[in-house]
Every structure is written in C-alpha cells, then in structure tokens.
Structure 1
Amino acid sequence: MRNRERIVAAARETFVESGAEAALDEIARRAGVGNATLYRHFPDRAALVHEVVVCVMARVTESAERAAAQEADPFAGVRRFAHEAADERIGALCPMLSGTFDPDEPGIAAARDRMEGAVQGLFERAQAAGRLRPDVAVGDLLVALSQLTRPLPGTACPVNDQFVHRHLQLLLDGLEAPGRSELPGAPATLEGLRQQSRP
C-alpha cells in the first residue's frame, strides 16, 4: 500500500476513534510514516479531512453499486449495502462535515452526488419490486446509519460496535414491505435533509 493510502486509512481510523481534531502525529505513527511524509501529501488538517471524507463516500458508493449488481433480490441489496455502510462508520465521521467544512466544494459534492445516486437506485429497485415499504426514502436509512454508527459520548467505539449490526437488522426488518404500521411524519428525502442542514 502506498504512503498516501496508508495515511488516509490511518486517518480514518483515528478520526473515528478520536474525532477530526486527533493529533496528526498519531496518524503518521499509525500509517508507519514520518510527519514530513504526511505533510508532503497533506499540507494541513483540512486537506486530510477532505481526502478521508471523499474516500469514505467512494467506498460507500462502491458498496451500493456492488449490492445492486450482485444481489438478485432487491431488498437483499438494500440489506447488504446497509451493513457494509455501517462498517464504514459514517456516523462517527459526520461531525467532520460540520463547522467550517464546505459541503459544496466540488470534490465533496461530486462524491456525495455519486453516492446518493447509487443508494437511491437501490431504494427505487426494491420499491419497484414491492420489497421495500413505499412510505420510506433514502434519507430514512442514511440518517439511521449515521445515528447507529456514531459513538455515544464518553464511550469507546468497541462498546457501540457490538450492537450496531443487531440494531441495524431490526431497522431493516421495519423497512421491508409490507409495513406493519403507519409511520408518523414524512419520508426523509435527500433534498429535504439538504435543506434542513443549510443555515
């Protein structure tokens, strides 16, 4: 694995455990490189955070695309994608998207659009087949994934990890058609979530 890839992988793990303000020295140590090598690839923290966010979104996109291509049952595709996305720990990385981070930066926007399109395709396929409740939207799953994979304050990630897939499966059982009850409120659409997140 090349130095840049090692740095990004180490940064992702460190950010999940310690947040976006984690020491860059620790990231370099985990990657097995010197500080000078880290700064040669990423001149500042913002550049490294940007790369980690784009990398995670790309991995989530690839997971959705694989699930769509390889699962004959459309709901099995949704289920497979959800569990793989949970392993990416997107909830633990969400705080990095707040603050001074520009969600409309071209690289971020392109990665986000590709990811959302891939997940939307999974949902539409499952709903068209009658396997996914018609009263849910992609945002419902993405918000739930974010919440399930965000560590509780004051707890280490491994404490949370043992429950993530169990609770995610309970959620997925509730998404499968036919629904057993009427859901309160409206589906969480991607556009609706975007509007709510803007100042």
Structure 2
Amino acid sequence: MTVPAHATRGTGGTRLRADAVRNRERIVDAAREAFVHYGPEAPLDEIARDAGVGNATLYRHFPDRGTLIHHVVRTVTERIADRAAALAAEPDTFEALRRFVFDAAEERIGALCPLLTDHLDPDDPALRAARDRLETAASHLLERAQRAGTLRPDVGLGDLMLALSQLARPLPGTNCPEIRGFVHRHLQIFLDGLRAPAGSRLTGAPATFDDLRSAACGRAT
C-alpha cells in the first residue's frame, strides 16, 4: 500500500523525515490491530511497544488518543480508496472487485466501524473526503463488473461494504489469532455468491452508501 499524503506531514503541516514517516506507519498499523482486538481504549504504551517505538515517539506523533484514532481511520480509508482506484485498470472486472474486498479486509476497515461512530465526528472534513474518495472508486469497480456481466445486477455498494464489515470483524469476546484465515474463507464464499448469473433472487432493493450512513455502523465507511 502507498503512504497517504497526509501521513507524511506532522501535526503542524511540516514534512516528516523518511524515518519519522516509517515510525508513524508502524504506529498506525499497530494501533489498527490493537483497536480491532481490544477496542478504542487499547493501552497506548502497548501500541508503542508493538510498533517498536518508545512512548515518547508515539506521543510526538499523536499527542492524545483521539488524534491517533482519527489518523488511523483516515489512513485506512485513504489506503483502500487508493487501492480501489488502482484496480480500475484491471482487465478482469470481477477479479478487480475480489482484490478490493480482500485488500479492504486486510486493512481491517470493517472492524474499525465502532471507532468512527463512537469517537469521531462523522462530518469531519478530512474523514468525509476520504470516505467520498472510497465511495467513488469502489462504486466504479462494482459498476464495471455489472456492466461486464460478471457481477449480479441486484447488489449495491452498500451490500458489499456491509458484508465486509460483518465478515471482517472478530466475534465479540474472542481473541483468536487465526481469525483472519476464517475471514478470507468466508469472504470467498460471499464473493462466489456475487458472481453472475445469480442463483437466486434477492429480496428488497440494493443497499447504497446512503443507506449505510443512516445506520450507526454505516458511518464507518
């Protein structure tokens, strides 16, 4: 994954040195995993330890928990938006969609849902811009596959993102280190059900991003 542009600058807008950018990326990745497994109150000193940096380094980049949570969610959203945009050139339209789903699962974007709803302002301009970029790029992948006849026509982007959120999230009360292996298996089962021609008729209408935004969990995307 490429490093989002905002991740290369400090809180004052100054450009970070290469080693500082690497430290920040390690902190973000460690925080992402800690938040997924232990919630937004995960100990910051353990995040620093898992990132291989000292507490002072973590606080130099992220002076408080809210700043760290904001940066993690924004970074993950922008990474996936960048990946979706890059996959638009993939000639196999369903393969592009499949790779997007697995990349999004690896970035844990669905599992970060509670962070946005409980600890962040969903109308924050930077987060909204990142979500809009993700929606645009992912919608393009979905529409390409439907036009090519590889994706069933009765699903929407909201269906895709809601399933990703549900399947990529650890089960409540569990801390299974092998859960990601099950996630990949279940995502593949889900993707097989998206292929055209469809084996059944779905009830209701395709879900959209707007549908998800009207629900608490939907604001994570």
TM range (shorter): over 0.9
CA distance in 2, matches of 1:99, 1:18: 15
Task: Write out per-residue CA displacement over residues 37-63 of structure 1, whole angstroms, 9 at most, x where no aligned residue.
Answer: 211211110000000001111111122
CA distance in 2, matches of 1:175, 1:45: 39
Tell me the residue number matched to 2:140. Answer: 121
Summarize the Cα distance change of 1:6–1:132 in structure 2 as closer, same or farther, 3 Å threshold: same
CA distance in 2, matches of 1:21, 1:168: 28
The equivalent position to 2:69 in structure 1, one of 34, 45, 49, is 49
- Is the Cα contact below 8 Å between 1:7 and 1:27 reproduced in 2? yes
**Root mean square deviation of aligned Cα:** 1.5
CA distance in 1, matches of 2:125, 2:63: 19
Query: Structure 1-normalised TM-score?
Result: 0.92
- Is the Cα contact below 8 Å between 1:126 and 1:132 reproduced in 2? yes
For residues 149-164 of structure 1, the aligned pairs below 5 Å read: 149-164=168-183
CA distance in 1, matches of 2:211, 2:29: 32
Tell me the residue number matched to 2:81. Answer: 61
For residues 62-141 of structure 1, the aligned pairs below 5 Å read: 62-69=82-89, 71-141=90-160
- Is the Cα contact below 8 Å between 1:138 and 1:189 reproduced in 2? yes
What amino acid is aligned across from residue 56 of structure 1 in structure 2?
A: V
Pairs aligned (count): 197
1:183 aligns with 2:202: yes
The equivalent position to 2:59 in structure 1, one of 39, 43, 49, is 39
Summarize the Cα distance change of 1:157–1:59 in structure 2 as closer, same or farther, 3 Å threshold: farther
Q: How far off its partner does 1:157 sit?
A: 4.1
- Is the Cα contact below 8 Å between 1:90 and 1:150 reproduced in 2? no
- Is the Cα contact below 8 Å between 2:32 and 2:108 reproduced in 1? no
CA distance in 2, matches of 1:4, 1:16: 18
Query: Structure 2-normalised TM-score?
Result: 0.84
Task: Write out per-residue CA displacement over residues 135-194 of structure 1, whole angstroms, 9 at most, x where no aligned residue.
Answer: 100111110110011110121142422211111111111111111111012211111211
- Is the Cα contact below 8 Å between 1:91 and 1:150 reproduced in 2? yes
Q: Identity over the aligned pairs, expressed in percent?
A: 62
Q: How far off its partner does 1:109 sit?
A: 0.4
What amino acid is aligned across from residue 71 of structure 2 in structure 1?
A: E
- Structure 2, gaps ≥5 residues long: 1-18
- Is the Cα contact below 8 Å between 2:66 and 2:119 reproduced in 1? no
Deviates more, 1:133-142 or 1:151-160: 151-160
1:23 aligns with 2:43: yes
Q: How far off its partner does 1:95 sit?
A: 1.1
